[in-house]
Amino acid sequence: MLMIRRRAGESILLGDSIEIHVFEVVGNRVKLGISAPRDVLVLRNELKLTEDFNRDASKGAEPESLVSLAATILRSRRGMGKVPECVKTTSGAGDDR
């Protein structure tokens, strides 16, 4: 990793087509501006990490567990009432017990 110090008003070039401008530094916060071609994705790292986490989490869900979760949520919202037929399965995930 290359580490470079820059002050407000300075910039960094990445290749020929990307420029990172330092607009403001206040305490531990830095305001940056990024000039890049439209075909270059510019994304905050935490958004990418969240997207990856959500994608991985959705892959591991079995249909039966989703039906069971839906039944549990409906029960809690309806004061332990009956679960609608649409979430009942033969595996018993939507039992009215």
pLDDT by residue, tens only, the chain of 97 residues:
999 999 999 999 999 999 999 999 999 999 999 999 999 999 888 888 888 888 877 776 677 777 888 888 887 776 655 555 665 555 554 444 4
Q: pTM of the entire structure?
A: 0.53
Strands (DSSP E) found in the chain: 11-14, 18-26, 29-35
Measuring CA to CA, which residue among 68, 73, 69, 70 is closest to residue 90?
A: 68
The answer to whether the CB of 11 falls within 8 A of the CB of 19 is yes
Kindly state whether residue 44 falls inside one of the protein's structural domains.
Answer: no
Kindly state whether residue 19 falls inside one of the protein's structural domains.
Answer: yes
Q: Please state, in angstroms and as integers, the Cα–Cα distance from residue 54 to each residue in 48, 65, 77, following that order.
A: 10, 17, 25
- Cα separation of 20 and 12, whole Å? 5
Kindly state whether residue 92 falls inside one of the protein's structural domains.
Answer: yes
Q: Which domain holds residue 12?
A: 8-37
